[in-house]
Chains A and B, each alone.
Chain A
Amino acid sequence: AGGSDDEADDTGGEITGDEPMTERTFTAPTSVLPDDMQWNAANDSNYPDRPGFVVFDQLVYFRATTGEFAEGALADWEVGDDAATLTLQDDLTWHNGEDATAEDLVRKLHISLYDNHPIGNFTSVENVEAVDDTTVEVGLEADVSEPVFLNSIQNMELDTPAEQYQDILEELENDPESTALADFAPEEPIGTGPFQYDSSGEQELVTTKFEDSHWADDVNFAEYRFRFIDGNEQAWQALRGGSVDALHNIFTSPDIMASFPDHVVEIQQPANWGLSIAFDHDHKHFGQREVRKAIAHVVDREVVAENSAGGGDAKAPVGTPTGIVGNFDDSAAEWLDDPDAFEDYAGNNTERATELLESAGFSREDGTWVDADGETLTFEFKVPAAWNEWVDAAITINQHLQDFGVQTNLVTRDDGVYFGQDLYGDTGFDIAGFWWSDGWTYPYHTLNWNLNSADAKNVYNYSESIELPPIGDPDGETETLEFAPEFEELVGMDQDAEETRQKINELAWAFNYDLPQLPIQEKVDQCFVATENFSVVDDSDPDASVKYPTTYLPRIGKLVAKEE
């Protein structure tokens, strides 16, 4: 079994850092047909994002377990009050042989700004300029704390060489509405990453080691291939059959993992997001805090998470719903001064739920909850049909609620309709599967997402302010809390300051008390590497939590080919 419980042998031996160069090929899956691929990430069709990770360099990389940023195309960065200074690696070379300079980064940032990239929240095109060959200064229009800023540029890749994008930038400068960027569809990428495009065929994309890359010294294999694989079953089979050496990120239940060869290791990374139940706050029943809380008490999150993970540990149940991620390793509680002051809604506390519902005027008739007007407490629970883990979780949640006498009905929806119309469109929902964080560890992001974001207002119609009692005293005197100003303040606050912590505690309490959403679980991404021909570090290494280990670890010599 590919458990990570066995040590050295599993990971294929120690990585010393001076492995000899080999002719090996590392093969991973891609879900885009290699023949159809085009390499402009801003174009919507057939952009191969996994291959993109090896061909292009991200500006910075993010270690999810520690919340730190690691260097990527940027060697250094500094975020001050009114400016951020970004310094490129000085040995960065484009695959076409040209040096990658600050001009290139400026081009990237300009294009991104024209393309509505979120750094536009802090700056504009005029404020971005190269200071020297490797340094770019970004003037900031408002206070931004470092993690918030870095988060916003983290998934940015240096992928716009002059050869391909100079004309496009010029066109955008002339006409910001131009669609030139979105229409551009280069058949071959030019990046700065450790592997460069070689060829693509019916089933495979071949990239070869780029000797001039910043990372070249740590890469000891000659090729990185991507094989077209569609669907999880095919992917598992490919890994099992040895036609790929890794899977980037596929939820895999313990039963299935058991079918993998012994030399396959699992690398877990916190995904920092997961399923929640979104309530329509405009709904007659779900707009009531008591109802939401009752539901929270009824759903046994541990069971749900376990079911959703197929009995494995790939989903961590949310311990205490505070709107802070880190349930995977309990790091969430570290942000709280007094974790016990928070309601944990643990287990299947029907007594408490009954109390709450009765206090809201509901009564139970023939095993069904009915409100004071005689209306049944009933809803359709919508989930996207193709998200199997969610469906499994929803089935379980549904079961818990039905057992408690809430008349629920699970409805699976076409993905497009679900996201396009139920969540972001007109059809709406009573209760739907949603997510309660968006991948960042810094609590600002998650709390903002739940309490203050456009989604909070538009998707589940959350109010802009609430009446909040003091922390730990739900029955105490309430005070009005306006969310928007709170978060505006928090954005610029130094993450290490005590007042920042205070604010986070207060907002977490607001979350815990009012339950804008009910967080159910937190996902753990699963990456698999076959260690027959390659060695990889254990997932306790913080670098293994950079997304995706299969594409990041080779850069830093933590995924290396074994000697032939």
Chain B
Amino acid sequence: MSERSERTGTEPLHAIDDGDAFEAVSETTLTRKERYQRLVDRWLLAPGRIVWSVRRARIGAGIILLYVILGLIGPALYKEPRTNQGPRSVAPLAEGLAYPLGTDNLGRDILAQIVHATPSMLQMIAAGGLFVTVMGVTVGTVAGYSGGRTDRVLSLVTDIVMTIPGLPLIVILAALLEPQNPIVTGLILTVNVWAGLAREIRSQVLSISRHSYVEASQAMGLSTPSIIVKDILPNIMPYVLITFVNAARQVIFASVGLYFLGVLPYDSVVNWGVMIDQAVSGGAMHVASMAHWLIAPLATITLLSFGLILFSQGTDRMFNPRVRARHASTTGSDDESTEAGGSAAATAGTGGGIR
């Protein structure tokens, strides 16, 4: 057969003799630092570069980052909202920068309220988003991947949960549990959102597990969890992210809505939804001089939601290996042309988020 291998001359050199390829060991070792650098590059810098390269994602990420920073260090930097810290219903900038967004009916600085409400809102959003994501991904992948009875049972549960009219259920749960902890509130607000994700992920998993590389992994005897984690999850990541964003929006919309309805209890900690409630019941809609009281939280919520959507629209690229390859510093350049346009998957649900 040497004759043939000679003909099969596509291999330019056989530096390593046939048998050795199988036994080859390395002569050098990577330093810890190098390996660390690789990890950082792969998991942090590369996604960052990708996000940065899409305008929508860049703007979205910027907005989200702004809120995160606001939530993290804002409360430390900006004064606390206090009753009677200023005159009542001061218009924005009316007194210079003393009350940049004005004050409310109790003379509290509105910017201060917004800033100090951010951490708990972010916690709520993160809790809701994580809950939905974890539940949805777990149930969806387990159902889709294991099939059979497990699938039927999980699918039925999912379908049922999905059909519960979300808002009324949340209203009842909120009244039932009277959550004060933002994390608990976040969970309640997304109590049935995960089902939609689970259903979607299940069908994605079904189609992904038809890919032959999944079968190849099975043939290699890899364990099911590792197949799910390595072969299936990366494919549904864009979807997961989008759902995370939708869940986050659901949290924002529903919490504000319920605070507004007065169904959710609130405590001394300020909250955007409570601000809207107080502004509306305080008559901000009636008096032009108090309009800022309502507009400020409205704009805050809208901007965050807007940022989240923009970000999610940009992020399917983050998990797209084609784009990844181009932004990985450790790999050589790639000549793949960029596919244009936003993705279809990134569109948000209809109906204003709450259903």
Contacts and interface: CB of A to CB of B under 8 A. Distances in A.
Interface stretch (A61-69, A404-412, A505-513, A532-540): A404-412
A390 to B, nearest CB: 12
Contact of B267 (A310, A396, A412, A414): A412
A114 to B, nearest CB: 36
Interface stretch (A11-19, A229-237, A283-291, A461-469): A229-237
Given A232-B281, A310-B282, A392-B106, A255 B267 contact: no
A311 B180 CA distance: 30
A399 B82 contact: yes
Contacts of B286: 233, 236-237, 240, 255-256, 259
A411 B105 contact: no
Most buried by A among B88, B267, B283, B290: B283
B283 A233 contact: yes
B106 A236 contact: no
B166 interface: no
A409 B285 contact: no
A428 to B, nearest CB: 15
Most buried by A among B175, B265, B289: B265
A310 B103 CA distance: 12
Nearest to B280: A233
Contacts of A484: none
Nearest to B106: A307
A398 B83 CA distance: 9
A395 interface: yes
A409 B175 CA distance: 19
A153 interface: no
A311 B265 contact: no
A352 to B, nearest CB: 21
Contacts of A70: none
A311 B175 contact: no
B107 A307 contact: yes
Interface in B232-280: 262-263, 265-268, 278, 280
B280 A412 contact: no
A258 interface: yes
A385 B106 CA distance: 17
A385 B281 CA distance: 12
Contacts of A388: 278, 281-282
Interface in A314-372: none
Contacts of A258: 287
Interface string B55-94: 0000000000000000000000000001110001100000
A556 interface: no
A482 B68 CA distance: 61
B171 to A, nearest CB: 11
A303 interface: yes
Given A385-B265, A413-B265, A395 B106 contact: yes
Contacts of A413: 178, 265
Contact of B83 (A232, A252, A396): A396
A386 interface: yes
A310 B281 CA distance: 12
Contacts of A396: 83-84, 106
Contacts of B178: 413-414
B268 A395 contact: yes
B83 A310 contact: no
A409 B84 contact: no
Contacts of B83: 303, 307, 395-396, 399
Interface string B102-130: 00011100000000000000000000000
B105 A255 contact: yes
Nearest to B293: A255
A392 B105 contact: yes
B174 to A, nearest CB: 9
Contacts of A145: none
Contacts of A249: none
Contacts of A414: 175, 178, 263, 265
A253 interface: yes
Given A396-B106, A410-B268, A256 B287 contact: yes
A179 B301 CA distance: 52
A395 B267 CA distance: 9
A253 B283 contact: yes
Nearest to A388: B281
Nearest to A411: B267
B109 to A, nearest CB: 13
A253 B262 contact: no
Contacts of A395: 83, 106, 268
A413 B267 CA distance: 10
A233 B285 CA distance: 8
Contacts of B287: 255-256, 258-259
Interface string B158-193: 000000000000000001001010000000000000
A389 to B, nearest CB: 10
Nearest to A402: B268
A16 to B, nearest CB: 36
A255 B82 contact: no
B20 to A, nearest CB: 71
Interface string A109-133: 0000000000000000000000000
Contacts of A307: 83-84, 105-107
A311 B262 contact: no
A385 B290 CA distance: 22
Interface in A232-261: 232-233, 236-237, 240, 252-253, 255-256, 258-259
Contacts of A303: 83-84
A412 B285 contact: no
Contacts of B84: 303, 307, 396, 399
B351 to A, nearest CB: 25
Nearest to B274: A412
A256 B265 CA distance: 26
Interface in B123-155: none
A303 B106 CA distance: 10
Interface in B290-306: 290
Most buried by A among B84, B180, B266: B84
Contact of A386 (B106, B175, B262): B262
Contacts of A399: 82-84
Contacts of B263: 414
Nearest to A408: B268
Contacts of B106: 307, 392, 395-396
B267 A410 contact: yes
Contacts of B88: 310-311
Given A385-B262, A395-B106, A399-B83, A255 B175 contact: no
Contacts of B289: 255
Most buried by A among B107, B175, B267: B267
Contact of B268 (A233, A236, A240, A409): A409
A240 B287 CA distance: 12
A146 B180 CA distance: 50
A386 B262 CA distance: 7
B90 to A, nearest CB: 12
B282 A411 contact: no
Contacts of A311: 88-89, 105
Given A232-B281, A307-B84, A396-B83, A255 B290 contact: yes
Nearest to A256: B283
Contacts of A236: 283, 286
Given A253-B282, A256-B287, A395-B83, A412 B266 contact: yes
Given A255-B283, A255-B289, A258-B287, 12 more contacts: A232-B281, A236-B286, A253-B105, A253-B283, A255-B287, A307-B106, A311-B88, A408-B268, A411-B267, A412-B265, A414-B263, A414-B265
9 contacts: A233-B281, A253-B283, A255-B89, A256-B283, A256-B286, A412-B262, A412-B266, A412-B267, A414-B263
> Lowest 3 CB-CB distances: which A-B pairs, in order?
A256-B283, A410-B268, A399-B83
Interface of B: 82-84, 88-89, 105-107, 175, 178, 180, 262-263, 265-268, 278, 280-283, 285-287, 289-290
